[in-house]
Structure 1
């Protein structure tokens, strides 16, 4: 029997999708791909395979989940199985450099960014950027990992020479233009089936940790897991009647890169220019914000997977 197969490495981020699949009485199976064995001479089962492996898997001691998942995806794609968020999506998920190059190729503006390996070259990159304020981030990250704001190269030097320097898992540190928004928020644009679903306004006044999931690790200080949100206090707010002109370019970017499910984060500067700076292909949703808005992305995702299952 054909099923929906969910490829993942984090049970807590998968439970909401499981609930929706069960609500719709859909056959499914979870493949936890932090480790395992794959017989490349065998044929995969029939069905739809939805990849939601995260760039932050190494923070959960699943260091090689992306690499193993890429092997599984190659096997599935070789045999012509229906794959949602396949090899190309995974490669963008685990590399912001790949994301920015693909976004730029689609005519989408991103912040000026330099990629550096080695502490000396990180400093060289900051000097080359030539901006009074800038941020650092990891090339393979997630959950805001490695994101810090600096107001001088000297401050960056103190950081990388200190005990708290956070070495990126792939060795690549990004030095990036700091886009200062007139108000402390970014907007995350959610897409299912490659089509825009909604935009969610995210309050950034407390820091760069922007995890929208209900189940975040204890380290995720700025993720709203302690108490329910209200419309007045919400860190995450789904916007009504929101569809800016650049959504068409975002949808075209997703189609060009064979990405069906994603969240694209963007920030607007004082001149009204929007910069896309992160593409999340294992996107999560905030249930408090969805209850207030009456929109439920995991339900829409389950319906989309059900439609794809009919094609298998």
Structure 2
């Protein structure tokens, strides 16, 4: 049995990670969804398993593996495997509502938000926070399931015409649109709950700000390495600890009305920045592989 298995579904995002493992001569098994598993089977594919199932999987396949993976990872954990970004992290990754509640409990600011499960409740929720706003899918990815509304009439028409976004769990977020200072958000990446790097990302008003290679080509996204203030780095680390992220990104924007940092997204799928040597001057995959090696030693 190999010492490391990686469960993933995106066809391109993790090629740099696989290449880094190959360069180091680290044996690993690549697992993709598509086969049934036996809930009575107590075997594991490896003592260390890295979960790379993306929330945007539903965009690539209608019969997506997101909830299937929850059960599979839970089974491997019960059988004794160490699953990186396992079921506790996945529970946060699969719910923007849970993410915002966790961030708020830690004492950090979030955008004004209401969580609904019926289209009929969206207008009343919007009235309680004001316009402009966005309606978001609770489970999204790569900017999917986010629609802006600038007025009550526009929103009401969308409700009546079935024009709201949908979420695969039936839950929507009604969220005040925060004016972002400088038009950029900051994505702070963590590894084993520690600060790894940060980038400022600008997308010209688009909601898809995924910084990976498979997202950036032709997207108009611009990225630049930054060193955020210590308070933001420490906040990201606290969020990563609370969300049980072995690796993951935390996104924050500065509210241009008051200068308040508002955290709004936790992403357990850290596929890292495109062109890392150009943007950062170093490759974070090398540090990830270093930590994977240590995690593997800790599982022996």
| 1:146 aligned partner | 145
SS at match of 2:179: coil
SS at match of 1:12: coil
Q: Alpha-carbon deviation of 1:64?
A: 4.2
| 2:251 aligned partner | 265
Please list every run of 5 or more consecutive structure 1 residues that lacks an aligned counterpart in the other structure.
217-223, 228-232
TM superposition score normalised by structure 1: 0.88
Q: Which has the higher relative contact order, 1 or 2, with Cα contacts under 8 A spaced 6 or more apart?
A: 1
Structure 2 residue 274 is matched with structure 1 residue 287? yes
CA displacement, residues 139-185 of structure 1 (integer Å, 9 cap, x when unaligned): 00011112222211111122333465432211111100211023111
**Aligned equivalents of 1:290, 1:135: Cα separation in 2:** 35
SS at match of 2:200: strand
Q: How many residues end up aligned between the 2 structures?
A: 298
Structure 2 residue 230 is matched with structure 1 residue 244? yes
| 1:100 aligned partner | 100
Contact conserved, 1:34 with 1:68, CA < 8 A, in 2?
no
Q: Which is worse superposed, 27-36 or 131-140?
A: 27-36
TM superposition score normalised by structure 2: 0.92
Q: Alpha-carbon deviation of 1:303?
A: 1.8
Contact conserved, 2:223 with 2:279, CA < 8 A, in 1?
no
Superposition pairs of residues 156-175 of structure 1, within 5 angstroms: 156-162=155-161, 164-175=163-174
Q: Could you say what the CA RMSD is over the residues aligned between the two structures, in angstroms?
A: 2.0
SS at match of 1:190: strand
CA spacing shift, 1:290–1:134, aligned 2, 3 Å: farther
CA displacement, residues 54-105 of structure 1 (integer Å, 9 cap, x when unaligned): 1111111154412121112111211222211111110111110111111122
Q: Alpha-carbon deviation of 1:35?
A: 4.8
Contact conserved, 1:234 with 1:289, CA < 8 A, in 2?
no
SS at match of 2:136: strand
**Aligned equivalents of 1:202, 1:293: Cα separation in 2:** 13
CA spacing shift, 1:289–1:311, aligned 2, 3 Å: closer
| 1:221 aligned partner | none
CA spacing shift, 1:9–1:299, aligned 2, 3 Å: same
Q: Alpha-carbon deviation of 1:234?
A: 6.9
